[in-house]
Amino acid sequence: MHRFRPYHRYLRQVKVPLVLSILCGIFYGASSGAGLPLMLNYVFPKVFASADAAAPVALTGWQIALVAAWLPMVFLLRGIADYANVYLLQYAGTRVLEAIRLDYFKKLQVLPLAFFQKRSTGDLISRGIADTSQLQVALVNVTNDLIKQPATLVFAISAVAYLAFREQGVAMVLASLAVVPVCVLPIRFIGKKIVRRAARVQEELGSLSGRMSENLSAIREVRAFGLEDYEARRFSTTTRALIKAQMKVVKYQRALNPMIEFVSALGVSITFIYAYRVGVALEAFIPVVGALFMCYDPIKKLGMVNTELKRGSAALDRLEVVFNEPVDIADPAQPVAVTKLRGDLAFEDVTFHYGPDTPALSSVDVRIPRGTVCALVGPTGAGKSTFANLVPRFYDATEGRVTIDGIDVRAMRLADLRRNIAIVSQEPVLFNDTIANNLLLSRPDASRAEIEQAAKDAFAHDFILEKEHGYDTVIGERGQSLSGGQRQRLALARAFLRNAPILILDEATSALDARTEEQIQQALSRLMVGKTVLIIAHRFSTIRDATKILVFQGGRIVASGDHATLHAANDLYRTLYETQRAAGKA
C-alpha cells in the first residue's frame, strides 16, 4: 500500500463516511467470522438436545422461538452492516473519484502545449476516465477490504482456535489451521502474473479511446475518401488487442478462487482426518468446520484485493505521467503587477528549441513598436507560428527573452499577460454552448449590448439573428451547426469584444468568401488602430495593411521592411510573392 500513500489525501476528504463504512465492515466481519460458527456450536445443539430422551432439556415455546430467532437476527445484523458498509463506501468512492478526476483535469489545463503534441487525445481521455476509476477502486475498496476481510479472518480464526482447543487442545487447533498460511502462495503467484498484464489492459484502453477520438474528429475525411471499411478494420484490430489483454487478466484473476478453494478443501480434509483419528464427535466437528470455512472466504477476497492493488498500481503509473509532468510555464513567484499594456513588443536574441534538433528560432532580435501591423512571412516551418506563440507564453524562449513594454513576459502572471492578447486562429475553436456564451469567453463581464456590437463589427450579427434562438442558440460541439465562415466571424467577434492591445491573427479571414473577406478586412483595419498586430500570413493578400513585414527562413529573420522594399531587395520574399500571384492568391 505504500505505493498509494501519496494519494491517501483523497481519503481524508471523506474520512467520516469511510470510517463509518469500515466500522460496519468490522461488525460484518465479526458476525460472519464468529457469529455463524458459534451459532452452530451453541444454538442448534440446544434445540436438538431437547429431543434426546437420554438427556432431556425442556424448552418452552418462547425459548424455542428465541433460540430459532438467532439465525435470522445474525443475518439481519450482518445484512444491515453489509448494506451500510457498501453504501457509505460507494459514497466515499464517488467523492474520491470526483477529486481525482478534477485534479487530473486541472493538471491538463496547465501543462505546456509541447506535452499534448506527444500524446494522443484519446489516450489522455482514457487516463482521465478508466485509470482514475481503477485508482478509485484501489484507494477506497481496497482500503475497506484491508480492514473488513482481515477482521473477518481474525474472528473466524479465533472461533476455530476456541472451538478446536476446547475439544482437543492445541493439536486440534494446529491441524485445523495448518493450511491457512498456504493460501498466501496462490495470491502471490497470481499477483506477479497480473501486474504487467493489467498495465497492458490500461494501455490498450488508451489506444481504443485514441482510435475512436481520431475517427470522430476526422469523420468528414473518412466519408470523403471512402475509409469506412478501413477504419472499421483498424478499430477491430485495436478492440481485439484489448480483448486479448483483458482475457489474460481474467485468466489469472479467475484462477485465484479455485486455487484457494482447493487449498481450503485440503485444509478441511486434514482437519477431518485428524478429528476422525482422535474421535471428535460430529456435533463438535461441525462448528469447527464452519469456522474454518469462514476463514477461507476472506482469504479469497484478500486475493482479489491484491489483484485490485496490482491493477490500481498499473493505472497509477499511467496517471503519474500527467500528475508528475513538470509545469514549466507557470506564474513567477513574485510577478510584476500589470493591468493594461501598451503593446511595445521586443524579441531580444531569442532562440527556441522544441527538442534536441535544429532550433525552431535562432538568435531572433527584433522590436515591434506599439501600433505596428506586423506580417510574418516565410515558407512552411520557417518559424512564423513559433514566433507568435512565444508572445502569450504558449512556449518559453530557450535563450533570450520576449518583452512587452520592457517587461519580460515570464515576469508577469499568465492571466495578466494573456488578458492583453487576443488571438484569432486559422481554425477557430467554439464550444458546445450558446453563441453568447462563446463570445463571452473573451470577456466574461461584457454586457449584452457589447456582445452584439462585437458581432456587428465582425459581420456576424445578421446571421446570428437568423438562428431560431438568436444569441441563445446552442451551436453544437466545435460549432458544427455553423458554416466555416460563420465560425470564423464568431472568432473575430471574440477578438473585437476582448479589445486587447496585442492582436495575433493566424490567417483569420481564410474561411470567408470574397465579399465577406472584404468587409472583415475593413473591420480589422478599424480594430488594428493603436494595437500591435501579428499576422501569420499564408496568403499575401492578407498583408496589404501591414506596416512591417518580417521574412522568416530556417528559424531566422532574414529580412524586414514594407512590401515594396522587400519585393525589390529580397529574393525569398519576391519568389514567395510571385508564386502566389501566379496562383491567383496574392
pLDDT in tens, 421-447: 998 887 788 888 899 999 998 889 999
pLDDT over 70, % of the chain: 74
Collapse the DSSP code of 156 into the 3-class scheme (helix H, G, I; strand E, B; otherwise coil) and give the result: helix
Task: Report the distance separating Cα 276 and Cα 289, nearest Å.
Answer: 13
Task: Report the distance separating Cα 221 and Cα 90, nearest Å.
Answer: 43
Model confidence at 281, pLDDT cuts 50, 70, 90, reads: low
Task: Report the distance separating Cα 42 and Cα 21, nearest Å.
Answer: 30
Cell numbers standing for residue 331: 506564474
Collapse the DSSP code of 375 into the 3-class scheme (helix H, G, I; strand E, B; otherwise coil) and give the result: strand
Contact status, residue 401 vs residue 410, Cβ threshold 8 Å:
yes
β partners of residue 403? 346, 408
Of the chain, the end-to-end C-alpha distance in Å amounts to: 66
pLDDT in tens, 47-101: 555 444 454 455 566 766 766 676 677 778 878 888 888 788 778 878 887 888 8
DSSP 355: S
Collapse the DSSP code of 437 into the 3-class scheme (helix H, G, I; strand E, B; otherwise coil) and give the result: helix
Q: Where are the alpha helices (DSSP H) in 32-126?
A: 36-49, 61-68, 70-110, 113-117, 121-126
- Assessment of whether the complete model's pTM goes beyond 0.75: no
Collapse the DSSP code of 474 into the 3-class scheme (helix H, G, I; strand E, B; otherwise coil) and give the result: strand
pLDDT in tens, 442-483: 889 999 999 999 998 888 898 999 988 899 999 887 778 888
Task: Report the distance separating Cα 73 and Cα 38, nearest Å.
Answer: 14
Task: Report the distance separating Cα 293 and Cα 520, nearest Å.
Answer: 80
Task: Report the distance separating Cα 520 and Cα 181, nearest Å.
Answer: 79
Cell numbers standing for residue 156: 473466524
Segments of the chain assigned to CATH 3.40.50.300:
329-420+500-586, 429-498
Half-sphere exposure of 24 (CA within 13 A, CB side): 19
Chain Cα centroid distance, residue 90: 20
Paired sense of beta strands 421-424 and 373-377, if any? unpaired
Cell numbers standing for residue 304: 482479489
Please provide residue 424's backbone torsions phi and psi, each rounded to the nearest 5 degrees: -120, 115
DSSP 43: H
In CATH, what class is 2-323? mainly alpha
Contact status, residue 573 vs residue 567, Cβ threshold 8 Å:
yes
Our CA dihedral for 138, 143, 149, 151, rounded to 10 degrees, sits at: 170
Contact status, residue 504 vs residue 372, Cβ threshold 8 Å:
no
Range of weakest confidence among 11-15, 266-270, 559-563 = 266-270
Cell numbers standing for residue 322: 500527467
Range of weakest confidence among 94-108, 312-326, 418-432, 503-517 = 503-517
Segments of the chain assigned to CATH 1.20.1560.10:
2-323
Contact status, residue 39 vs residue 294, Cβ threshold 8 Å:
no
Contact status, residue 159 vs residue 37, Cβ threshold 8 Å:
yes
Collapse the DSSP code of 31 into the 3-class scheme (helix H, G, I; strand E, B; otherwise coil) and give the result: helix
Task: Report the distance separating Cα 481 and Cα 469, nearest Å.
Answer: 13
Cell numbers standing for residue 43: 444454538
| pLDDT score, position 549 | 93
Chain Cα centroid distance, residue 508: 32
Paired sense of beta strands 399-404 and 407-408, if any? antiparallel
Model confidence at 38, pLDDT cuts 50, 70, 90, reads: low
What fold, for 429-498?
Rossmann fold (3.40.50)
What fold, for 329-420+500-586?
Rossmann fold (3.40.50)
DSSP codes, 518-551? HHHHHHHHHHHTTSEEEEE-SSGGGGTT-SEEEE
What letter represents residue 531's amino acid?
K
